[in-house]
Amino acid sequence: MCAKLILEDNTEFEGNSFGFEKNSSGEVVFNTGMTGYPESLTDPSYKGQILVLTYPLIGNYGIPSDEKDEFGLEKFFESSKIHVKGLIVSDYSYEHSHWQAKKSLGEWLKEHKIPAITGIDTRALTKKLREKGVMPGKMILNSKNIDFEDSDKKNLAAEVSCKTPVEYGSGKTKIALIDCGAKNNITRSLLLRGASVLKVPWDFDLFNSSRKFDAIVIGNGPGNPKHCEKTIKTAKKALEAEIPVFGICLGNQILALAAGADTYKLKYGHRSQNQPCLEKGTKKCFITSQNHGYAVKKDSLPENWESWFVNLNDNTNEGIRHKSKPFMSVQFHPEAMPGPLDTAFLFDRFLKIAGEKK
């Protein structure tokens, strides 16, 4: 079935449908990773977005089962559902082969009612998004027309956050994980290191609750961090109480806003598994997995705060920390999934601080 992707500037790309046949609208973004589409499609940070995969061959290893791990988390996915508004690829592999595969990518997308188009010139599309910046687009698969959707105006974190607190594990150090769209592997990374996790909604008031915790992790999530006003308020209270805080991705931006710094939208964001990040004050460069469209303004950090990591591709901020107190955050994903685990040691470092502050 013929299908179209139409950008807000009226540029059109034609291809063929291989997912669920419905029209869809969202912000068009691109990811340059070579593998990891099951994890990426289930990453809540892609809520409201049409995802373009630049690697030309997609679907060749199929989709694994939805089995759970020992903690009750999806073993191969980052959440229980697909969050993208649609998928765009150059060459979809209708035949797949992998020992863990249970179905094809196309079958999986149809189950979750997600449209997808193959046969698009993703190189030309990505060049346009790099030059003009990410923009709204719509996927047209039938005769009905739809409007462009501006996801920046929505509080997307509220849409993907859990609705009630959930507890995992029984470790002595209890981490409150603020769920703005947190990936499964953040929870798993904490549990595997012996902590227990209290996952709470984005707007949960930890400080007017009977729930006990030793430290806070602010997870990743979609959209503009300034919409997460209640999360920022909670982070401010944590800073005042000097409770250890570790932010990841959106959590980096929220911690910065709580500290009094500012954030801004990147032209086309960072979405890949090979972003080089330098730890400032050292000669250590780490290859990181990333998925974000906003960043912290480095020159807006208040006194007693400092830039911790910097992106070596474009010199943007990749992390902040307080100079003397246990507050820190990174823009990249130390939990990976997909991508390298080069920075997973940051969980160990934070849990050591959290344990010492008990």
Q: Which structural domains are found in the chain, ordered by start?
A: 2-153 (3.50.30.20), 156-356 (3.40.50.880)
Name the pLDDT band for 178 (thresholds 50, 70, 90): very high
For range 304-319, the mean pLDDT: 98
**Residues 308 and 321: beta-carbon distance below 8 Å:** yes
Q: Mean pLDDT of all residues in the chain?
A: 97
pLDDT score of 357 more than 80? no
Q: What's the confidence (pLDDT) of residue 143? A: 83
pLDDT at 342 over 90: yes
The structure's pTM equals 0.96
pLDDT over threshold 90, residue 231: yes
User: What confidence score (pLDDT) does residue 358 get?
Assistant: 64
The C-alpha atoms of residue 232 and residue 249 are separated, in whole angstroms, by 14
**What is the pLDDT averaged over residues 342-348?**
98
Mean pLDDT of 172-177: 97
Residues 39-80 have pLDDT tens digits of 999 999 999 999 999 999 999 999 999 999 999 999 999 999
**Whole-number pLDDT of residue 80:** 96
Residue 313 has pLDDT above 80, yes or no: yes
pLDDT for 1: 82
At residue 151, the pLDDT reads 87
CB-hemisphere CA count at 13 Å for 167?
9
List, by residue number, the catalytic residues: 249, 333, 335
The band of 328, judged by pLDDT with boundaries at 50, 70 and 90, is very high
> Percent of the chain having pLDDT more than 70?
99
- The full 3-state SS of the chain, as one line of letters, equals CEEEEEECCCCEEEEEECCCCCCEEEEEEEECCCCCHHHHHCCHHHCCEEEEECCCEECCCCEECCCECCCCCECCCCCCCCCCCEEECCEECCCCCCCCEEECHHHHHHHCCCCEEECCCHHHHHHHHHHHCCEEEEEECCCCCCCCCCHHHCCHHHHHCCCCCEEECCCCCEEEEEECCCCHHHHHHHHCCCCEEEEEECCCCHHHCCCCCCEEEECCCCCCHHHCHHHHHHHHHHHHHCCCEEEECHHHHHHHHHHCCCEEEEEEEEEEEEEEEEECCCCCEEEEEEEEEEEECHHHCCCCEEEEEEECCCCCEEEEEECCCCEEEECCECCCCCCCCCCCHHHHHHHHHHHHCC
pLDDT at 48 (0 to 100): 97
> What's the confidence (pLDDT) of residue 31?
98
Res. 297 pLDDT band, cuts 50 70 90: very high
